[in-house]
A and B are shown apart, each in its own frame.
Chain A
C-alpha cells in the first residue's frame, strides 16, 4: 500500500486510517454521531421485535389474524426495504423519526415471519401435554407456544439486526444531518478520505461485533438445544 501504485487519496495506508480514526475519536463529534445512530437503530429494532414478534405469534394462534395479516406480509416481505427511505423522509423529515420508522418497518417482517413459523412449528403433543396438566389456553400460549417459537424467532431477529444496519447506514448516507452514515458521506464529500475510510471500517466492525454478541447471547438463551 505504500508502494505508490495507487494514490494515497484513493487508498490511504492503514496507518493513516488508524491515526485519522484516533483524531476523530478524541473529538466528541464522532461519538455524538455514533450515539445518534445507535439510538435510531436500537429504537427501530426494539419496536420491530416487540410488534413483529407479537404479530407473528398472534398470526399462528388466531386464524382470523392470520387471514388478515398474511396477505400483507406475503405482499410486502419481498419488497426492497430501501424503497421506503423517501416516504419516511416525506412523513417525518430528516431527523431521528424517519430513521426509526424506516428501521421499524423494514425489520418487522423478518421478525414476524420468524415468530409465525416458529409458533406454527410448535408440536401438538406439547400443547396437549400442557393442557392435560391443567394449563389454560392462555397459559399454553405463554408456556408452550412462545418458547417453541424462540429458535426461529431469534433467527428472524438476527436477520432484522443485519437489516437494521443496512437501512440505518443507507438512510443516513442518503438523507440525514447526523449519524455515522452521515459522517461517512460528509467526510467523503469533503475529500477527507483517510477519515472516511476510518468511519466506514468502524461501522463495518460495529455490524460484525453486534452480530457476534447477538449470536453469543442467542446461544445462551437456546442452550437447551442439543
Chain B
C-alpha cells in the first residue's frame, strides 16, 4: 500500500500542479497576459497541431538539433579516442579543448551568422560547436580510463591497431562516451532554440520569439510546453537507449534516472 502511494505520488504532483496553474490563472490574481490558463495553452497546442504548424516547427528544430548532434558525435567520438590514445594528438588538442570547453560558445553566434548567413548551416554549425565539447571530453576520459590489464590481455589475444580500438577501447569507453552524448543532446536543443530565437523564421524558437513580439502569451506558453515535452522525451529516450546498449554494464540493472 505504502509502495503504491510512492508510485502514484509523482503523477499526483504533476496533475496537482497543472490544476493549480489552471485555477490560479482563472482566479484573476494575474492577467491572462502574464499567465494564460493551461486549458487555453493546451487548446492552442491542439490548434497548432491541427493546422500542421506545430509539426513543421518541431521538425525544423529537431532537424537542426539532430544534425548538429550527430555531426558532433561523428567528429567528437573518434577525435576523443584519438586524443586519449595518442600523445602527439593530445599535445596538439589539449590546450584547445581546455580553453574551449568552459567558454560560452553561444557568444560566437553573431560571428557564425556573419560567416555562414542566416540559413540552417549556421544554426547547425552553432549546435556542433557547442555539443561537441562534452562528447570529446567524455571520449578522452573514457579512453584514458580503460584498464591497462584489459588492453594487455586483448593484445595477448592478438588484437592490434584499429581492431584494438574498435573491439576493446570503444566498448570499454562506451559508458562514459554515452554520458557525454547524454549531456550533449539537451545542449544541442538549447543552442538550436537560441539560434532560432536570434535569427527568427521557422522552428519552435522562432515561433516563440514571434509570439513574444506580438505579445501573444498563449503562443509563448505553448512553446514552453512543447519544448519541455520534446526535451523530456528525448532525454528519456537516451536513457532507454543507454540501457539497451550497455546491457553488460552493471548500471544497466539499476533503474534509469535523469
Contact = CB atoms under 8 A, between A and B. Distances in A.
B258 A77 contact: yes
Contact of A204 (B108, B191, B215): B108
B191 to A, nearest CB: 8
Interface stretch (B11-19, B51-59, B72-80, B245-253): B11-19
A115 B170 CA distance: 32
Given A67-B13, A188-B114, A91 B34 contact: yes
A5 interface: no
A162 interface: yes
A83 B223 contact: yes
B10 A89 contact: no
A173 B197 CA distance: 9
Contact of B107 (A78, A84, A184): A184
A21 interface: no
Given A67-B9, A84-B224, A175-B212, A170 B194 contact: yes
B179 interface: no
Interface residues of A toward B: which range? 35 or more
B34 A184 contact: no
Interface string B208-231: 110110010100110110011001
B102 A207 contact: yes
B220 A75 contact: no
Interface residues of B, number: 51
B165 interface: no
Interface in A71-89: 71-87, 89
A104 interface: no
A205 B103 contact: yes
Chain A CB within 10 Å, residue with most, of B9, B194, B198:
B194
A77 B217 CA distance: 23
Interface in A185-222: 185, 188, 193, 196-197, 200, 203-205, 207-208, 210-212
Interface of B: 6, 9-11, 13-14, 17, 33-34, 99, 102-111, 113-115, 186, 189-191, 193-194, 197-198, 204-205, 208-209, 211-212, 215, 217, 220-221, 223-224, 227-228, 231-232, 234-236, 258
29 contacts: A71-B14, A75-B228, A78-B186, A78-B258, A79-B228, A80-B189, A82-B194, A83-B204, A83-B205, A83-B228, A85-B208, A86-B223, A90-B34, A113-B258, A162-B102, A165-B104, A166-B106, A169-B107, A173-B109, A173-B110, A174-B198, A181-B107, A196-B110, A197-B111, A204-B104, A204-B105, A204-B108, A207-B102, A208-B103
